[in-house]
Amino acid sequence: MLTLLLYVLIIGLVAAVLFLLASAVFGRSEELGPLPEGTTATVLPAEGITGADVRALRFQQVVRGYKASEVDWALAKLAARIDELQLALAEARAGDWVEPVTPDKK
């Protein structure tokens, strides 16, 4: 019985040493801290949203999919841009075309 207990203690000690060695070699899982509440890493330009901007969108993943507030925000921005484009198209078809001002992208 004492031999079995000694084996378990030795295995535990070896496991602890290997864990500490791996932690020292591979780091301590130092990751960036979470974003402050109410902020997001999801980015769209204020005006002049392009297809490339939409394709570059990335959302924070949570347990059951994507973070709903980020997806809702992106959809609202895209809906507003679509409304702007439809209004400009309707004005152009009516003959009241005014060139929209868009920021220069470099």
26, 33 contact by CB (below 8 A): no
Question: What is the phi/psi pair of residue 51, to 5°?
Answer: -60, -35
* Residue where the block lists tokens 């198209």: 89
* pTM score, whole prediction: 0.43
Each residue of 12-39: pLDDT tens digit? 999 999 998 887 777 656 565 666 665 5
Helices (H), the chain: 2-26, 51-55, 68-94
Helices (H), 27-67: 51-55
42, 60 contact by CB (below 8 A): yes
